[in-house]
């Protein structure tokens, strides 16, 4: 497990209006995976500049770049939004991160049961959000996608695949946390 310096932290940045209870839940649970404190940033980020009217979605790479204003040179920044995200080669993404960089982004839009016409299930949403936040931060800590079925770093192409993966790293990924790189990955 990576251990960031004492000055480092994971800054959770709400994008637009995200449920405070979800943000607090993630701030409490994520330190267990990354051995570093999480703080919720008071300022929110406006997602409108990343909106693509033709797709009626937000371009995740552009939104990820907007998060750069919250990078203080130490630690990681995790943006959390409820807007629908895409990158040009995919219909949608649950999130995106800079592999080995400071920035990660995730959306709860397609993690909510209501998106699929089902009744709200807050416990399921929180579990899914924790998995996707851990996954995107795993990328920020240098991890690529993993083929192991028992790893949170496994690529998820659907919410069913999110539900099937655990909220933990496999032994290989846990050993590899912190490997630097420069690309971005979407999931």
Q: Following DSSP, what letter does each residue of 159-182 receive, concatenated?
A: HHHHHHS-SS--HHHHHHTT----
Beta bridge partners of 78: 12, 104
**How high is the pLDDT of residue 135?**
97
How far is the CA of 54 from the CAs of 51, 86, 88, in angstroms? 9, 12, 12
**How high is the pLDDT of residue 101?**
92
**How high is the pLDDT of residue 8?**
83
d(CA 32, CA 12): 15
**How high is the pLDDT of residue 187?**
55
Query: Which one is the CATH code of 10-143: 3.40.390.10, 3.30.70.270, 3.40.190.10, 2.40.50.140?
Result: 3.40.390.10
**How high is the pLDDT of residue 175?**
87
Active site residues: 136
pLDDT tens series, the chain, 187 aa: 444 444 589 999 999 989 999 999 999 999 989 888 999 998 899 999 999 999 999 999 999 999 999 988 889 999 999 999 999 999 999 999 999 999 999 999 999 999 999 999 999 999 999 999 999 999 999 999 999 999 999 999 999 999 999 999 998 998 888 533 344 445 5
d(CA 74, CA 70): 10
d(CA 158, CA 93): 9
**How high is the pLDDT of residue 74?**
84
In degrees rounded to 5, what are phi and psi of residue 95?
180, -175
């Amino acid at each position: 497990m990576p251990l960031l310096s004492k000055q480092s932290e994971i800054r959770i940045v709400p994008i637009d209006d995200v449920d405070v209870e979800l943000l607090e839940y993630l701030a409490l649970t994520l330190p267990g995976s990354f051995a570093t404190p999480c703080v919720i940033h008071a300022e929110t980020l406006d997602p409108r500049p990343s909106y693509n009217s033709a797709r009626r979605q937000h371009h995740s790479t552009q939104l990820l770049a907007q998060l750069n204003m919250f990078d203080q040179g130490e630690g990681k920044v995790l943006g959390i939004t409820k807007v629908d995200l895409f990158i040009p080669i995919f219909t949608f993404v649950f999130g995106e991160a800079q592999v080995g960089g400071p920035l990660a982004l995730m959306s709860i839009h397609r993690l909510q049961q209501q998106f699929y016409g089902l009744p709200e299930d807050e416990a399921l949403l929180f579990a899914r959000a924790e998995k996707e936040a851990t996954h995107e931060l795993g990328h920020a800590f240098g991890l690529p996608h993993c083929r192991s079925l028992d790893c949170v770093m496994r690529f998820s192409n659907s919410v069913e695949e999110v539900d099937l993966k655990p909220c933990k790293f496999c032994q290989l990924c846990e050993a590899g946390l912190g490997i630097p790189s420069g690309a971005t990955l979407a999931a």
